[in-house]
Chain A
Amino acid sequence: MAQMTMIQAITDALRTELRNDPNVLIFGEDVGVNGGVFRATEGLQQEFGEDRVFDTPLAESGIGGLAVGLSLQGFRPVPEIQFFGFVYEVMDSISGQLARMRYRSGGRYNAPVTIRSPFGGGVHTPEMHADSLEGLMAQQPGLKVVIPSTPYDAKGLLISAIRDNDPVIFLEHMKLYRSFRQEVPEGEYTIPLGKAEVKREGSDLSIITYGAMVHESIKAAEELEKEGFSVEVVDLRTVSPLDIDTIIASVEKTGRAIVVQEAQKSAGVAANVVAEINDRAILSLEAPVLRVAAPDTVFAFPEAESVWLPNVQDIIETSKKVLNF
């Protein structure tokens, strides 16, 4: 086993699948010689040739259309959108086309496409680079939306995503790319899509979260532990479709829950998680399910980013409201 950052784990997953399946193709802006602006595809063009790993002209809509077309030719495209804030340029390919391929072809075709893209705040990017837009994707039936929080999960989930026969949006939080290392097995292993993981066990409160907020939530849980509260942290890992069983089992155990997301309150997937809990476990609840989210503005510019993004203190405060209800 090797110690890897998330970005290394992602490169490793891509290399594994390029080796495994000759139909896997990687393309996007600057993914070739440059290895991607974050170096996620570092060395892959060298190893697998320009036929398998190639730069595209600068057009996200073109990248999306290319992926649709190549999948009709039996390829397994893994395009990169350089930053997920540019997804609006490729929305039709994603929501209008990929998500509807089975429907449009009466089941004749499927779209085994994995779109990878960095997103997420805390790294002082300019406008339109950091936004959490997973809610837009999750609201599109026909897509799977995956957001890993650790290097280990990133590799196993990405391999599953590439092998999946439906379109997957694979979102990589920029702050997690190089923030820590973890043991990551060499070679192939998979983590099933649609399965959450309890990242920390507890009995008084469930924090349901995903992406970079998993780490903030674990820190909050550790603080709350010092005050005598036992807090469970559930990492959704796939935000659509939701792993209802794991969410409900946790809430039935603790009787209290909050949902934490980096996206604005009216965006993201927290509202959907709360609704599912209310639908299925209302009688197990000792308190209302509250949310921690960013305010309903455009993503904050760098100077205000640290206040705008939900943080450990916000999570502790909301947890206490629910714990002391």
Chain B
Amino acid sequence: MASKTNKASLDAMKQLEKVEEQFQTIQILNEEGEVVNEAAMPELSDEQLQELMKRMVYTRILDQRSISLNRQGRLGFYAPTAGQEASQLASQFALEKEDFILPGYRDVPQMIWHGLPLSQAFLWSRGHLKGGDIPEGVNVISPQIIIGAQYVQAAGVALGMKKRGQKAVAITYTGDGGTSQGDFYEGINFAGAYKAPAIFIIQNNQFAISTPREKQTAAKTLAQKAVAAGIPGVVVDGMDPLAVYAAVREARERAVNGEGPTLIETMTYRYGPHTMAGDDPTRYRTSDLDNEWEKKDPLVRFRKFLEKKGIWNEEMENETIEKAKEDIKVAIKEADNTPKQKVTDLISIMYEELPQNLVEQNAIYKEKESK
């Protein structure tokens, strides 16, 4: 009896090992900016490659400025993005305008490149209602704070697209920590069950606040969780913009062709603190690890690649940096000029028609606000 059980469990282990072996990290551009996987190279014109580089440079500046604006008390909630540019921006770059993004709190850059005005991103950070009021034609919803909620909702958006016969996808983002939530599994499972056109991105930046990735799950990779949902899953080098782009582009093609969702794990790192609200990474990360990841920097390797091709130079870099700084200056001014959030504004958006309690309270707060 005992030996029989033993044998079965050995087979089960082998099965697991076999599954895990399949999930190798896909890379196209190595740390030196050399193409190591010609066959997987996505079709991108020189202009597109330049544009992607511009976006990464611009967003790095936006991150630096956001951190200092936060320190000056001019921004509210902010989750730093440096290190994750390839993961964030190359995945968005693979989308079309009609695709719908359901971001997490760190994914403001994707929203901006999908059309959200910068001033509104700043207003969202300050917790202003106007920050969530996305302009018509920009297919994003404001960043999710409840980790995992965006994943189940993405299944719904994608199913809606399918029912309406749209050739578009819903794309959503969470972190390595987020994959532990029940909503994560429900989201990928629902989308799989309905063959809904969804793309689920896990930005594995190795930590959930202080909790290292190994503590989230016994699974070797996070992408392999796709197997249980019966959908394809891939791991890509999240510091390699071309690998991220290729994986998302391919997933998008499958999705719009009616072949259902994909789970993509991008191996990346956040250089900064978790958020600007008092997190101290030195409590849980070594500087050795920081250095190891900074060597993989997406901007550095993409710059090398483009320079070798002769389509990027210092002048273009500086132009981009100046443009970012100027845009940020204008946007923050716009945010400053937006009338301050009032309690009566909050009251007015609770329902289509105000019930009696809020009609009364509206009068009370109007009076308070007039003082």
Interface on A for B, CB 8 Å cutoff? 29-30, 32-35, 37, 55, 57-59, 61-62, 86, 88-89, 124-129, 265-266, 295-298, 300-304, 307-308
Give the complex CA separation of A88 and B128 in angstroms.
24
Contact A59-B180, Cβ < 8 Å, known A29-B211, A86-B146, A307-B368:
yes
CB pairs A–B below 8 angstroms (24 shown): A29-B209, A29-B211, A30-B209, A30-B210, A33-B283, A34-B211, A57-B211, A57-B217, A58-B147, A58-B181, A58-B208, A59-B180, A62-B182, A86-B146, A125-B77, A129-B145, A295-B361, A295-B364, A296-B357, A300-B343, A301-B128, A301-B129, A302-B127, A307-B342
Asked if A295 meets B343 with Cβ closer than 8 Å, knowing A89-B146, A126-B105, the reply is yes
| Chain A residue contacts of B283, Cβ below 8 A | 33-35
Q: A58-B147, A58-B216, A59-B181 are in contact. Are A30 and B211 (CB under 8 A)?
A: yes
Given A58-B147, A58-B180, A297-B350, residue A304 in contact with residue B211 (CB < 8 A): no
B215 within 8 A of A: yes
Task: For B340, list chain A residues within 8 Å (CB).
Answer: 303-304
Min CB distance A123 to B, Å, is: 9
Q: A55-B211, A58-B181, A58-B216 are in contact. Are A33 and B343 (CB under 8 A)?
A: no
> Which residues of the other chain, A, contact B209 by a CB distance below 8 angstroms?
29-30, 34, 37
Contact of B314 with A by CB under 8 A = no
Partner of B365, one of A88, A303, A307: A307
B residues in contact with A298, CB < 8 Å: 346, 350
- Interchain CB contact under 8 A, A296 and B350: yes
Alpha-carbon separation in the docked complex, A114 to B331 (Å): 46
Question: Are B346 and A57 touching (Cβ within 8 A)?
Answer: no
- CB pair A127–B358 under 8 Å, yes or no, is no
B337 to chain A, nearest CB (A): 14
Find chain A residues with CB under 8 A from B315 CB.
none
Other-chain contact of A303, B128, B279, B284, B357 (Cβ < 8 Å): B128
The answer to whether B346 touches A126, judged by C-beta atoms less than 8 angstroms apart, is no
Check B117 for interface membership: any CB of A closer than 8 A: no
| Chain A residues, Cβ within 8 Å of B341 | 300-301, 303-304
Give Cα distance in the complex from A59 to B149, angstroms: 12
A89-B146, A304-B345 known; 9 other A-B pairs, CB under 8 Å?
Answer: A33-B284, A35-B283, A55-B211, A57-B211, A58-B177, A265-B357, A265-B361, A297-B347, A307-B365
